[in-house]
């Protein structure tokens, strides 16, 4: 999702009004994120009042202090600084998109739903971009079945890992998968 083209938070998602295809798209988001965005919008309204006539009401969700769209290089610069301070590898903003797709696929969400969530016009685009993740998910599914059938210890270890809040079994260098547990 392009931050400068995102607008209008709703009850369970965000409407993106300027997509590559020119369509309006609704992106579902967790209720916790909706609550955070409502708080963010409230602070943005205070900023708007403080700026008075200087505020440019663009309707964008993420803006500069005067309401103008945020420059994507600002986000990249912030992520670079964040990464350096924490000794992490370079994180590109697009890594978050790839991470969401990878987590959905590895978690067993069907490719059509993943494709719609990403806003791909063709399901084949999602399949092509994430083929390596899909193959890894299939491999994990096969191993999971074998773990249960043959009572392997590995199956219990995976369950314990997931129960501890780490649902990521794969860290992918190919697509820039990012482990959100680093935050």
Angle, alpha carbons 181-42-82 (nearest 5°): 30
Please indicate, yes or no, if residue 124 is contained in any of the structural domains: yes
Please indicate, yes or no, if residue 79 is contained in any of the structural domains: no
Looking at the fold, whether 66 and 97 belong to one and the same domain comes out as: no
**What is the Cα–Cα distance from 115 to 101, expressed in whole angstroms?**
8
Pick from 11, 40, 70: which residue ends a domain? 70
Please indicate, yes or no, if residue 75 is contained in any of the structural domains: no
Residue-wise pLDDT tens digits, 97-135: 888 888 888 888 999 999 988 888 899 999 888 888 888
Looking at the fold, whether 6 and 40 belong to one and the same domain comes out as: yes
Give this prediction's pTM.
Answer: 0.62
Q: Which domain holds residue 20?
A: 1-70
Please indicate, yes or no, if residue 80 is contained in any of the structural domains: no
Please indicate, yes or no, if residue 77 is contained in any of the structural domains: no
Looking at the fold, whether 57 and 137 belong to one and the same domain comes out as: no
Residue-wise pLDDT tens digits, 48-79: 999 999 999 888 888 888 999 888 888 899 88
Q: For position 106, what pLDDT does the model report? A: 84
Number of domains observed in the structure of the chain? 2
Looking at the fold, whether 133 and 179 belong to one and the same domain comes out as: yes
């Amino acid at each position: 999702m392009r931050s400068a083209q995102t607008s209008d938070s709703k009850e369970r998602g965000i409407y993106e009004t300027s997509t590559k295809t020119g369509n309006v798209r609704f992106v579902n988001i967790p209720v916790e994120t909706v609550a955070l965005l409502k708080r963010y919008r409230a602070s943005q309204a205070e900023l708007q009042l403080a700026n008075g006539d200087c505020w440019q009401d663009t309707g964008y969700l993420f803006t500069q202090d005067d309401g103008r769209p945020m420059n994507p290089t600002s986000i990249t610069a912030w992520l670079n600084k964040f990464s350096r301070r924490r000794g992490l590898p370079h994180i590109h903003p697009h890594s978050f998109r790839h991470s969401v797709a990878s987590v959905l696929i590895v978690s067993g969400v069907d490719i059509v739903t993943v494709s719609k969530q990403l806003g791909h016009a063709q399901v084949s685009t999602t399949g092509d971009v994430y083929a390596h993740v899909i193959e890894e998910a299939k491999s994990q599914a096969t191993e999971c079945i074998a773990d249960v059938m043959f009572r392997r210890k590995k199956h219990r270890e995976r369950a314990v890992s997931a129960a501890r809040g780490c649902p990521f079994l794969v860290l992918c260098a190919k697509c820039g998968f990012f482990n959100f547990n680093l935050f």
